[in-house]
Amino acid sequence: MSDDKNDPVEIFRGHVELDYQYTAGVSASRFLRAVEQGKFLGQKCPVDGRVYFPSRGSCPMHAVPFGDDSTVELPDKGTVVTYSIVRVPSENIPLELPYITVQVLIDGADTALGHVLDANLDDVRMGMRVQAKWKPKSEWTTSMANIEYFVPIDEPDADYETYKEHI
C-alpha cells in the first residue's frame, strides 16, 4: 500500500476470528473413545453388511443410522490402495516436506482411511502392506493423531484385484 493520498486503496488486511465448538457426533464419539484406548472400531451397514472405517453416523448409500450393535473391532494393519507424495507446504499440515499421503484399506474394512506413511519415497507403491505406528500410550487422546503415521511391514503386497474397487 502506498502512502500517497492520491493512490487508490487497493487492499487492506482485515482480521476475522471466530470460535467454533465442534461436536464429533454420537457415532464418531464412540469411535474416538476407542482410538483413545488404542483400538480401531468400524461399523457394519445393517443393509449390505459392508464395514465402514472410520465409523460414522450412518450409511451414506442407504441413509440408515448405524446402531450400537453395528460396531466391529478391526486390526491396525492394512493395504495402501493409492498414495501421493506431497511437496507443497500447506498451512494446516505441520509435516516436513516431502511426505507421503496414503489411502489405507484396513483389513476387514470396506472403506479406505486417509493418513500419512513413513517410508522411503522410492519404496511406496499401491498394494504395500502397512501398520499403524502409535504414539506413546501416555500421549493418547480422542484423536486420529494418536497414530503418528503408518509404516511398511514385512508382508507380501496385496493383489491389485483385492483392493481395486476401493480406489
Q: What is the 3-state secondary structure (H, E, C) of 91-151?
A: CCCCCCCCEEEEEEEECCCCCCEEEEECCCCCCCCCCCEEEEEECCHHHCCCCHHHEEEEE
Q: How far is the CB of 96 from other proteins (least distance, A)?
A: 13
Query: Closest CB to other proteins among 57 and 152?
Result: 57
Q: How far is the CB of 91 from other proteins (least distance, A)?
A: 5
Give contact residues for other proteins (rule: CB under 8 A): 10-11, 14, 16, 18-29, 32, 45, 48, 50-52, 56-65, 81-88, 90-93, 95, 98, 101-103, 110-111, 114-116, 126, 142-145, 147, 160, 164-167
Q: How far is the CB of 156 from other proteins (least distance, A)?
A: 18
Residues in CB range of 60: below 8 A, 6 or more apart? none
3-state secondary structure of 152: strand
- The C-alpha atoms of residue 109 and residue 75 are separated, in whole angstroms, by 10
Query: Closest CB to other proteins among 64 and 153?
Result: 64
Provide the grid cell at 31: 469411535
Query: Closest CB to other proteins among 12 and 154?
Result: 12
